[in-house]
Amino acid sequence: MKRFLPFTTLAVAGCVGLAACADTSSDGITAPEAAPAASSVDALDGQYLVLTRGNAQTLGSTVEALGGTVTFHHADAGFAVVGGLTPAAAAQLAGASFVAEVQPDVEVSLPAPQPPVVAMAADVEANSVANPATAIRYTWQWNMRAIGAQHAWAAGKLGSPDVTVAILDSGIDYTSLDMAGLVDLSRSTSFVASDNALRAAHFPSRHVVDDFNGHGTNVASQVSSKAVAHAGVTSKTTLIGVKVLGASGSGSTSGVLSGVLYAADQGADVINMSLGSAFLKAGGGGSLVSLINRVFSYANRKGAVIVVAAGNDSVDLDHDLFPTPAGTVHYPSLYVTYCDAPNVVCVSATGPQTATGNLDVPAYYTNFGRSAITVAAPGGNAGTTVSNWPWGPHVVSYVWSMCPVNYLISPATPGVRPCASGGNVNGYAGTSQAAPHVAGLAALLVAEMGKGNPAQVKARIAQSADDLGAPGTDPFYGKGRINVARALGL
């Protein structure tokens, strides 16, 4: 199965796509993010995704006889990951009576190193959990004001520690000023072997979910934050980190799908997925669709609201043509992960037009589509600056967070840690940032409406959104830009 590079779902920071940012001065902007890279038809490290049927009790012994090992098996979902197989052995496995399909695993990745971050003053106090609007950098947070989160906080709607949001990403800096105490480490895990080895060698005292990339910490902070530096949509919601992307920004499809199943089994009420790609439905891809659909349907049955990013290539997910290494492919022949998966909330991005003007302009990079987009949320528009702030000029249209203490310029140089002081912040923009705003709202609604009602939560999010753009369902806004206060009946 050939993986293509049709869009950029893993949010950009500073600019969109793989090109270098024009401005890499000390403005605190991180590097751009990119879509998963194209892969050959060969399985990643001899690893395969397996869809099972019926009684698969002999899966382990069968794979072992073929020279491989089962690295993950979820019997209820009928999903397994096997490694160490040759293509010939994988073909033999596909012929087993209890195997429906065998698909090669493929890599997903983010691009290269991030530019400098902004140093933040150290005079902080953790006194803002009950009033997130007092966070030190709340004045930078146009995004929270755009969705009316401050009205929910004023009404005491701060989330519940009994509600859990799983962050499928590059990990979480669970010791940062805004995260400390919010991440349930007993339920957090990693599906990235390279990061596990990096941690063991250089940061052995840290949990496996520690974030060496920065993306996951930024995403998590929009969902739930103690609001020392930056407010999140909630300040009391419990987070679990499910690491599926590593320090270099790479991971695997098997890790992502395993992460979804893991999060569901850990009782996650909401799953945030600020990642994705696309592949051809033909030539074996249709079977991968079945596998993905089975995994997502399982999580839905377990009661999880699944929130996904729409992507950052400015394309119409309903009608556009996608450029690929092999030419141009019309969308209907592609499966876009994970907006095409069942039961998801697919989120597009909005951003400020000017520093003080309209906060709800569709972001210039966001993917769109009348049938694809559920709702919109703040993702940022790169380039809007304010020059008269006491801290100097900053891009205010980004979505901000603390920079992880173990953020690495490169996994090859683990001693180079520009945020090691714990007092640095960074900014991102993209649908990666839009999605967790919706995940935070979903967490608030679970606290209000009860657990195990993903369809009702999704409906409330859509019904309560501000109807922007064309009346009704709009290609850019879906049902509208989310409104936290209205969703809670305030």
- Please list the pLDDT of the chain residue by residue as tens digits (490 residues): 222 222 222 222 322 221 212 222 222 222 223 222 222 335 677 899 999 988 888 999 999 999 999 999 999 999 999 999 999 999 999 999 999 989 999 887 654 444 445 555 445 555 578 999 999 889 889 999 999 999 999 999 999 999 999 999 999 999 999 999 999 999 999 999 999 999 999 999 999 999 999 999 999 999 999 999 999 999 999 999 999 999 988 899 999 999 999 999 999 999 999 998 777 776 666 678 888 999 999 999 999 999 999 988 788 888 655 555 555 555 556 777 899 999 999 999 999 876 557 889 999 889 899 999 999 999 988 655 554 444 444 556 789 999 999 999 899 999 999 999 888 888 888 899 999 999 999 999 999 999 999 999 999 999 999 999 999 999 999 999 999 999 999 9
In sequence order, which ranges of 141-187 are alpha helices (DSSP H)?
142-146, 149-154
Q: Collapsing DSSP states into helix, strand and coil, what is residue 240? A: strand
pTM listed for this prediction: 0.88
In sequence order, which ranges of 380-476 are alpha helices (DSSP H)?
431-449, 454-463
90's enclosing H/E stretch is helix 87-94
Burial tier of 393 (Cβ tally within 10 Å: 0-12, 13-18, 19+): middle
- pLDDT at position 17 is 23
Q: Give whole-number Cα distances, 245 to 183, 191, 349, in Å.
A: 18, 8, 22
- pLDDT at position 256 is 95
Q: How far apart are CA 263 and CA 442, in angstroms?
A: 16
Sheet with 399-402, edge to edge strand ranges: 118-119, 424-428, 399-402
Q: Give residues with Cβ within 8 angstroms of 18, minimum separation 6.
A: 32, 34, 111
Give me the numbers of helices (H) and strands (E) for the chain, helices first please.
11, 24
Q: Give residues with Cβ within 8 angstroms of 201, minimum separation 6.
A: 414
Q: Cβ distance 209 to 218 under 8 Å? A: no
- pLDDT at position 283 is 62
Question: For residue 362, what are the β-bridge partners?
Answer: 350
